[in-house]
Amino acid sequence: MKINIKNASTIIDKYRGKKSALLAVLQDIQEEYNWLPPEVLTMVSEKLCVPMIDVYGVATFYRAFSLTPRGKHLVTVCLGTACHVRGAPLVLDRVQEQLGISPGCTTKDNQFTLESVNCLGACALAPIVVIDGNYHGQTTTKKVDAMLAKYKKKRKPTRKSKKKK
């Protein structure tokens, strides 16, 4: 996968080399690329004068960051107790069947990344599936197909399209 380093440089330069902006820089880079490419993390370290161990420390501490490429759409299935007893394992099975991947994997076309979590803190909506930050409560196996179809058609907004609004 080819990374446009110029975009990363622009993002980092926006923070004028402030070390205290490390978290914000990583968030912007994650939003731009859907992951934190190693060559970009090296650039962050150099431009902010932050040791690489500190850059990786922040990047691995927060679950929102990924050190591996993610799909355009992030699908998260909760397997916490409330979701589990209300059928989340069956929902996860259906999502896996529809996408052809297991949790922690990305589809070959880079459209979807699937993950499972132990709790999303929305137990009243159990079982819950989150796609691109949108919560889909009381999900059943029958709802999965239509839910995923909606996102298969949809392109995730880019930074540029968000700014135009």
Domains of the chain: 5-61 (no CATH), 73-153 (3.40.30.10)
The residue count of the chain comes to: 165
Report the pLDDT value the prediction gives residue 10, as an integer from 0 to 100. Answer: 94
* pLDDT, position 2: 72
- Asked if 138 contacts 126 with a C-beta cutoff of 8 angstroms, the reply is yes
pTM here? Answer: 0.77
Degrees (nearest 5) of the Cα angle 60, 113, 66?
A: 15
Q: Give residue-wise pLDDT tens across range 97-134.
A: 999 999 999 999 999 999 999 999 999 999 999 999 99
pLDDT of 4 reads 82
User: CB of 59 within 8 A of CB of 26?
Assistant: yes
- The answer to whether the beta carbons of residues 44 and 55 sit under 8 Å apart is yes
Mean pLDDT by 10 residues, the chain (165 residues): 84 93 96 94 96 97 91 95 97 98 94 95 96 95 94 65 49
pLDDT of residue 108: 93
Say whether the peptide bond before residue 127 is cis (omega within 30 degrees of 0): yes
Backbone angles phi, psi at 105, to 5 degrees: -115, 165
Of all residues in the chain, the percent with pLDDT exceeding 90 is 83
